[in-house]
């Protein structure tokens, strides 16, 4: 029974982790769109700021120091958008120059929560037929095997202790 359960866990964990490269690929597709949208917002803001002789950072500082809470909140939003755009562009640049395994690590290291949530909302699973997909599935299967072995060892240890105390 334990072997069957172990095999089931390995198949399930391998299947789940095999989807990581596909999720990362769909995330990368959304990354360009997110960058375009943020660039458009910030270009409008920059244009508005320049009409008043201000740089983007000066305009944001002015908004943040306003007595109007709405204007202060907009200053925070613009500062966050500017920082997020910089982060997304850096991630995109790193992803463009990376190989398949490195792309997966870059994705995991710097995932944007908003973009990942949007990707998850529309995510469509795919069969992993790439080396990265197979490797990811293997890692998941091994993780499932290790978890099950630890759980079985703990169960056996508990039984031995119970028998020893009798």
Residue 82 lies in a domain: yes
Residue matched to tokens 């944001």: 60
Those residues whose C-beta lies under 8 Å from the C-beta of residue 65, and which sit 6 or more positions away, are 72, 75
Q: What is the pLDDT of residue 160?
A: 74
Residue 166 lies in a domain: no
Q: What is the mean pLDDT of residues 124-147?
A: 76
- Do the beta carbons of residue 64 and residue 79 sit within 8 Å? yes
What pTM did the predictor assign? 0.69
Distance CA 93, CA 103 (A): 11
Q: What is the pLDDT of residue 9?
A: 77
Q: What is the pLDDT of residue 166?
A: 66
Residue 56 lies in a domain: yes
Give phi and psi for 54, each to the nearest 5: -115, 150
> In the chain, how many domains are there?
1
User: In this predicted model, what pLDDT tens digit does every residue of 2-27 receive, in sequence order?
Assistant: 778 777 877 777 777 777 888 888 99
- pLDDT band per the 50, 70, 90 thresholds, residue 129: low
Alpha helices per DSSP H over 65-130: 69-96, 100-110, 113-122
User: In this predicted model, what pLDDT tens digit does every residue of 83-117 receive, in sequence order?
Assistant: 999 999 999 999 998 988 898 889 989 999 999 99
CA angle at 159 for the pair 158 and 163, rounded to the nearest 5°: 120
Residue 126 lies in a domain: no
Question: Which conformational region is residue 65 in: left (phi greater than 0), alpha (psi within -120 to 50 degrees), or beta?
Answer: alpha
Q: What is the pLDDT of residue 126?
A: 75
Q: Is the pLDDT of residue 128 over 80?
A: no
Residue 165 lies in a domain: no
Residue 164 lies in a domain: no
User: In this predicted model, what pLDDT tens digit does every residue of 29-88 receive, in sequence order?
Assistant: 999 999 999 999 999 999 999 999 999 999 999 999 999 999 999 999 999 999 999 999
Residue 83 lies in a domain: yes
Q: Residue 115 belongs to what domain range?
A: 2-121+131-159
Distance CA 130, CA 143 (A): 20
């Amino acid at each position: 029974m334990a072997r069957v359960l172990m095999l089931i866990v390995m198949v399930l964990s391998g299947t789940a982790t095999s989807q990581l490269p596909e999720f990362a690929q769909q995330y990368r597709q959304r990354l360009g769109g997110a960058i375009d949208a943020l660039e458009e917002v910030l270009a409008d803001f920059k244009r508005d700021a320049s009409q008043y002789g201000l740089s983007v950072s000066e305009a944001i500082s002015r908004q943040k120091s306003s007595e109007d809470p709405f204007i202060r909140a907009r200053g925070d939003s613009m500062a966050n958008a500017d920082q997020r755009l910089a982060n997304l562009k850096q991630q995109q640049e790193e992803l463009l120059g990376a190989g398949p395994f490195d792309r997966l690590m870059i994705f995991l290291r710097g995932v944007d929560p908003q973009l990942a949530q949007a990707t998850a909302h529309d995510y469509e699973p795919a069969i992993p037929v790439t080396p990265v997909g197979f490797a990811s599935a293997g890692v998941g299967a091994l993780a499932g095997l290790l978890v099950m072995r630890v759980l079985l060892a703990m169960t056996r240890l508990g039984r031995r202790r119970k028998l020893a105390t009798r």
